Structure 1
């Protein structure tokens, strides 16, 4: 099997440097239109796909991002590994603006988004105890360190609905829960990637201290943009370092991400909704055709 790395770029990350034979490709999905066309090409002999999460020009809010269409589109293109790069606020003193955090846990506080490909007519329950892929996350951490940034190997990401930033009370609450960073876009993205049997890693770029820190001003969009600009090249260099670390040949995921649906579908075959099954052709075709 061939590796294809899918990069979902968040605020500040809108391109991949050095992509060969790059073509913006329109992908149709049964879940609607993705955030944008997907830039497909090769980097160091490895197939790559880049999707701007908010669309070029930043047209989608965190709530309106078409998460299901985005993940389905990447799966249809043949993506095997999804790397999410996104801006976040820090809830920890030691995770300073400019640092990168390799997220390994989530608390999902979003409430206005479709969070599953499955539902009435085909019910499935995937495991999310470890919502990111350790293999892919390790490659991202290694590639991030090679850029010279400070990297934290783990962290819990609190996903809020947005688009407004936190109140002070909310920020202090999430900090008291033991969360490390706060953002608006990694959920339901990580859940959907698991349902689609895609390895998923989250690289969170710290832009600010949210509003809990007594010695830093509360979140200011101009300061966030300045930090994003500084981090953007590091993020692109991280992505550029992934092909050599993952390689062109793709072995089965040692953590089972690519087999997440093996025992997940609960609905008896005779009771499954044909219309929903048709929509699941890319996401769950491996198990539904078996």
Structure 2
């Protein structure tokens, strides 16, 4: 399959490296901390990211960026979305000419409201057709445990998409290709915000009707924004839309859902961060998505209420009343 590098040693980056190795690629994980790289090399484990998951012995790991990227034709990037631009400033000079850059991130950049593929193109100074996006229901612990799943590989270069598709096709992973980069990225970003709201409903003890309504209306506002930006509306009925939304809302493995539960208990953003030990992607992305929606003239009431709870100290119960009290209209 050739040489591949995964930049980032978190749960999804490590799971993706495992997929690449098992499908036949020569894989190196770049970890910022040498202790993590050594654990992967010597023990074939990354306990901090994927407890109890044994990694293929063929996976190498290093904290030396140049060594990690040397000769790689596939470069997967798996870092928090708001750190991408800063990291790329350091990394881009090491990318091999013509290499395929795979975005594993699901967020919208604060300040610029750019999608992750746009940040890669702009900062790494590469053509857009070199960037491929992987999206869909990608709960890393389940994939690492080899539970059957499907995913989407989206890009404007069909040959690159097919190459990435082949590089991760396994008995437990069924990858589909797509040309709709915008739709896949918007589905992946907005679902994190809706999952925060879903977590709040769990903490408040609300029932299945509430949760089903939230998923359905959350999908509607995701699609409205995506279509306004040029996405194919059918994308939102597929894996990168409904599939990712359902998985992220319904699974206790979802960081965004569990963070939302903390907020729904009445905790402040800072208290929720302490309890969860990390910030979920949707907490920061909701600001950028709100700004993007306002610029596009798209109404996103759930996103607006999540932003108020996260960043303006709003009460989740008041947010529910605000949503339910909106003007009645056709679906």
TM-score range, shorter chain: 0.3 to 0.5
Return the structure number with greater helix share: 2
Whose relative contact order is higher, 1 or 2, with alpha carbons under 8 Å and at least 6 apart? 1
TM-score (norm 2): 0.29
Larger radius of gyration: 2
TM-score (norm 1): 0.32
